[in-house]
Amino acid sequence: MKWTLSQLQKHRSKDFPIDEIVTVDEVKEVEQSVRAVSPMHITGRADIDSTKVTFHLKINGHLVLPCSRTLVDVNYPIDVETTETFLLKGLDYETEEEVHQVKGDVIDLMPVIKEILVLEVPMQVFCEDVSSDEGAPQSGKDWEVIHEQEKQDKIDPRLAGLAKLLDQDDPSSNS
């Protein structure tokens, strides 16, 4: 995903489609929680003019992350759309969007794609199958992982006597 400025200028005022599959295994080195990275499918187009190149990209693939509860591998889907602008000359370009300066005469999208993938890593991810034998144990001696619904349905044994009092009819209200 590297192009020289002369290659890009040949496509000026023309359609420049992008459809590539790239490997970005370097994301594992930057973000320690990523266990594996699938090949990413990059699609989109580039708009090229004399002062800037704007890439409209869609990134698809998945990351393998550990489940926050059981440490089992979880496939986390990546489906990101982004617009990245590269300035060809050292002009002051005032805009609210982030722009990249071209160093030399080559535009390399790989560092930008790696940065986007690192930003997509969530703080927590949970697997669907919590009864898996592969992961961390869900119970042990005198403890177990409980879910919110189970916690609401369970009555505290210390308060069970009070519940019986509430269930009895109040004799003074029958008059």
Closest CA to 138 of 71, 89, 86, 47: 71
Distance CA 20, CA 51 (A): 25
Percent of residues, the chain, with pLDDT higher than 70? 77
Contact 11, 5 (CB under 8 A): no
Predicted pLDDT at 169: 59
Predicted pLDDT at 77: 92
Measured CA distances, 5 to 47, 99, 112 (Å): 13, 17, 17
Distance CA 102, CA 91 (A): 11
Query: Over 60: is that where the pLDDT of 93 sits?
Result: no
Query: Over 60: is that where the pLDDT of 168 sits?
Result: yes
DSSP 8-class letter at 152: H
Three-state secondary structure call for residue 93: coil
Closest CA to 78 of 128, 46, 125, 32: 125
125: how many CB neighbours lie within 10 A of its CB? 17
- pLDDT band for position 100 (cuts 50, 70, 90): confident
Query: Over 90: is that where the pLDDT of 139 sits?
Result: no
Better-scored residue on pLDDT, 135 or 120: 120
| pLDDT tens column, 39-91 | 999 999 988 887 888 889 999 999 999 888 788 888 999 999 999 888 877 66
